[in-house]
Amino acid sequence: MNEAGRVQSDSITLTVSQPATIVTQPVGDSAVIGESAELNVVAAGTEPITYQWFHNGQPMANQAMNNLLMSDLSALDEGRYHVVVSNFAGEETSESVILMVDSPPVITGQTDSLSVVEGESIELEIKAVGALPLEYQWSKGGVVIEGEVGLVLRLSNIQPSDSENYRVIVKNSAGRAESDVITVTVAQPAVIISQPVDELAVAGSTVVMGVSAAGTEPISYQWYKNGKKIDEANKKILEIVNVKALDIGLYHVVVSNHSGEESSEVVSLTVNSLPIITDLSEDATIAEGETIELSVSAMGTAPLTYQWSKGGVLLNGQNQSSLILPNVSSVDGGDYEVAISNAAGRVESAAVIVTVAQPPTIISQPEESDALVDEDVFFSVVAAGTKPIDYQWFKDGEQIAGENEAKLMLPNVSAISGGSYHVVVSNDVGSAVSELVKLKISSPPVIVSLTNDQLVPVGGEARVSVEAESNEPLFYQWKKDGVIIDGAAKSSLLLSKMETTDSGSYVVVISNSAGRVESEPVRVNVIQPVSIILQPESQESALGSKVIFEVAAIGSAPLSYQWNLNGEVLVGENSNRLIIDEVSGNHGGKYTVVVSNVSNSVVSNTALLDINTPPIITDLVKDQQTGVGESIELWVEATGASPISYRWKREGIVVPGGTSSRFILENVKNLDSGQYTVEITNPAGMIVSAPINVSVVTAPKIVTHPESKQIGYGARLMLSVSA
């Protein structure tokens, strides 16, 4: 029911159910592994009845029948079982019963075979499952060990006699199982029985060092030299092929096995080898008066002796690894060698070439020069000294790229070629700088910069200027449209308080003793500022009409226009006329136009555009439903040109008093039901709303009430009412 009345549902059938109960409990059982077993339960109650069997408290998957059938039993199936029977009305849990599964022993784990050191203690262990009780019996080499009938066999203070194969037999009433063999090995630690000995060898020969060891195999070997491990030297014999001085050192070997390790005595390897030169001074070039040191580094069997020679002639007293030549002169230049010897032989070095160089000197300086533009000019220098001699020319202190000869060629010189020149001559031992010489270029003026064209407002000022390079002095003369301007004889020209008659092309003539040049024209335009002589006017318009705003302005061309609406730029509206071909509601507002040229900008007066729009409904009340005697409010929201008037109608007939946007019906009757509309008008038109459906309803009344009834157990009950 609700505020207006109530209604009756369909009839409901009521059924009384009996809860599930266990009539016959399951009974425990016993079986042998691999056989089958079955547990049963009998239950009563309203169907359907469901069953769920449990094993050791955990639900069993897919076991939902009144009987539990298990085939191919294993030890894991042993345990407690119960079942839960249930239906819609309730559930009951059965008594817990035990299923016994007798199984022979199964060994699940045992100690692995192992190797131990004499005197240690170990435990051998077995793990097994099966029907209790389980019995154990250990054996050694196939012979029963008396008294060892537990899970663990302890062997203390291991001796070599304990090395053997061990087993354990596990048995119960259902059968027996025998473990795998556990092999126990009693290891002897590795010991050295024959030591390596010192070795003396000749370079290039083969040296063999060896050791003998005893102990339980496998035995490992690792040789060391000077305390550092030798890679891949892991045999009882160490063989060094093509022995050399680098192999000299102290050697020992470490032997080891599972039970321990031992280091051999340290022995030495001595190699008598020829001297080997490992480093030698490079060829050198030095200046007279300097000092040079030549040196050699060598390795080989000590002691090493040295003897220096020059050009094949022995240098008396020069028998050290270095040779010092102080305050060298030209006679010290030549090829130097050193011979190195020891008890094994002699070796001679390659020649070290020593060059004693003369630093460069300038014997003929470059000379100053005067030249005209486009002539060829050259400077030259003559230098002496040890070759090769390098040359580098400079202009005004800056290096001239690529100019590296004794002669500097300057073809087709220009004004910028003038300046100060010098050259640096150098070789491996020194350098010399020439005198500075000047190159003077006589050339006509060259214009390097000129003022750009200018736009100037009336009454303003402009400055035109030029910059030129050439021989001084320079003379200037400005012209306007080809006519000489009196007194305009400087590099810049100032034009003040300009009038439109000052517009024109300005050029300047620049001259010196070598010639003259005339500039490109500089265009100066005097601009008339913008002023508006005809303002746009306000207008009224109906929707869909055409409207034109227009402005007239004067000033120097070009003039640009930009129309705006309510302060926002109208994109693309850039002429003196703004044309709106079809007015819409968005076109109403304040219009202005900005007129500008390069001189200034002017904003027009504001012109208003008023738009007469017919009424538009923006929101309307939804359909209404109420009971007799209640009130209903109908309303509408609309926009449009003022004034707006309203007239409410029911079924097309004017409703008295319905002349505003809101209309209230009080104490409604059934006769007030129907379709309502509202007419909205203003000076631009009229609109009629969509219909609003109003329903006035009467509350329901019961005509026939339900009657009392008496029914039997399990029968169907139906009650009804009429309204």
- pLDDT digit string (tens) for 659-688? 999 999 999 998 889 999 999 998 778 999
Give pTM, 2 decimals.
0.29
Return the sign of the alpha-carbon dihedral for residues 594, 599, 600, 604: negative
Question: Is residue 244's pLDDT more than 60?
Answer: yes
Least confident of 82-91, 302-311, 469-478: 469-478
CATH fold match for the domains 21-102 and 276-357: yes
**276-357 in CATH: which number?**
2.60.40.10
Amino acid at 255: V
Burial class from Cβ neighbours inside 10 Å (0-12, 13-18, 19+) for residue 106 reads middle
The position carrying tokens 């029985």 is 193
What φ, ψ does residue 336 adopt, rounded to 5°?
Answer: -115, 135
- The residues spanned by each domain of the chain are 21-102, 106-187, 191-272, 276-357, 361-442, 446-527, 531-612, 616-697
Q: Kindly give, in sequence order, each residue whose CB lies less than 8 Å from that of residue 274, ignoring residues fewer than 6 positions away.
A: 203, 300, 342, 344, 345, 346, 347
C-alpha dist (Å) from residue 163 to 104, 183, 378, 501, 636: 31, 8, 108, 132, 112
Q: Is the predicted pLDDT of residue 520 greater than 80, yes or no? A: yes
How far is residue 257's CA from residue 160's CA, in Å, rounded to a whole number? Answer: 16
For residue 587, give the DSSP letter: G
Q: Which CATH architecture has domain 446-527?
A: Sandwich (2.60)
User: Which positions ≥6 away from 568 have C-beta within 8 Å?
Assistant: none
Assign 2 a pLDDT band (cuts: 50, 70, 90): low
Fold that domain 616-697 belongs to in CATH: Immunoglobulin-like (2.60.40)
Range 484-506 average pLDDT = 90
For 27, which DSSP code?
-
The DSSP letter of residue 91 is E
Within 149-305, where are the H helices? Answer: none
Tokens of 496: 């003040």
CA distance 104 to 462: 123
**Please, which pLDDT band fits residue 368 given cuts at 50, 70 and 90?**
very high
- Strand 352-357 with 284-287, pairing: parallel
Question: Would you state the pLDDT for residue 13?
Answer: 57
Q: Taking the mean position of all CA atoms in its chain, how far away is CA 100?
A: 66
Q: Check residue 158 and give its pLDDT.
A: 87
Give the CATH architecture of domain 191-272: Sandwich (2.60)
Cβ atoms within 10 Å, residue 692: 21
Q: Which helix (H) or strand (E) holds 21?
A: strand 21-24
Residue 535 token pair: 């303002």
Q: What angle do CA 347, 348, 353 make, to 5 degrees?
A: 160
- 649-655-661-665 Cα dihedral, nearest 10 degrees: -110
Is pLDDT at 716 greater than 80 in this prediction? no
pLDDT tens string 431-480: 999 999 999 887 788 899 999 998 888 888 999 999 988 778 889 999 99
Position with higher pLDDT, 15 vs 54: 54
pLDDT band at 161 (very low <50, low <70, confident <90, very high): confident
Distance CA 501, CA 492 (A): 20
Q: Is 19 helix (H, G, I), strand (E, B) or coil?
A: coil
Domain spanning 106-187, CATH class: mainly beta
Three-state DSSP class for residue 330: helix
| Structure-token match 């208003």, residue found | 608
Residue 8: its pLDDT value, please?
66
Instruction: For the chain, give the mean pLDDT.
Output: 89
With 70 as the cut, is the pLDDT of residue 711 above it?
Answer: no
Phi, psi of 330 (to 5 degrees): -60, -30
Q: Indicate the fold that domain 361-442 takes in CATH.
A: Immunoglobulin-like (2.60.40)
pLDDT given at position 85: 94
**pLDDT given at position 118:** 81
Q: Could you tell me the fold of the domain covering 531-612?
A: Immunoglobulin-like (2.60.40)
More confident call, 723 vs 49:
49
pLDDT higher than threshold 60 for residue 1? no
Split at pLDDT 50, 70, 90, the class of 289 is confident
The number of angstroms, rounded, from the C-alpha of 678 to the middle of its chain's C-alpha atoms is 67
Does 585 have pLDDT greater than 90? no
Average pLDDT over residues 314-329: 93
Q: What is the DSSP letter of 158?
A: -
Looking at this protein, which amino acid is placed at residue 563? W
**CATH tag, 21-102:** 2.60.40.10
pLDDT given for residue 429 in this prediction:
85
Q: Could you tell me where the beta strands, DSSP code E, fall in 118-248?
A: 122-129, 135-140, 143-144, 152-155, 164-172, 175-178, 182-187, 191-194, 199-202, 207-210, 212-214, 220-225, 228-229, 237-240
| pLDDT for residue 499 | 86
Distance separating alpha carbons of residues 128 and 562, to the nearest angstrom: 104
Q: Where are the alpha helices (DSSP H) in 79-170?
A: none
Euclidean distance between CA atoms 256 and 571, whole angstroms? 97
> Average pLDDT in the 104-130 region?
88
pLDDT tens sequence across 385-438: 888 999 999 999 999 999 999 999 999 988 788 899 999 999 988 899 999 999
Give me the residues paired with residue 441 across strands. 371
- CA–CA dist 282, 293 (Å, integer): 11
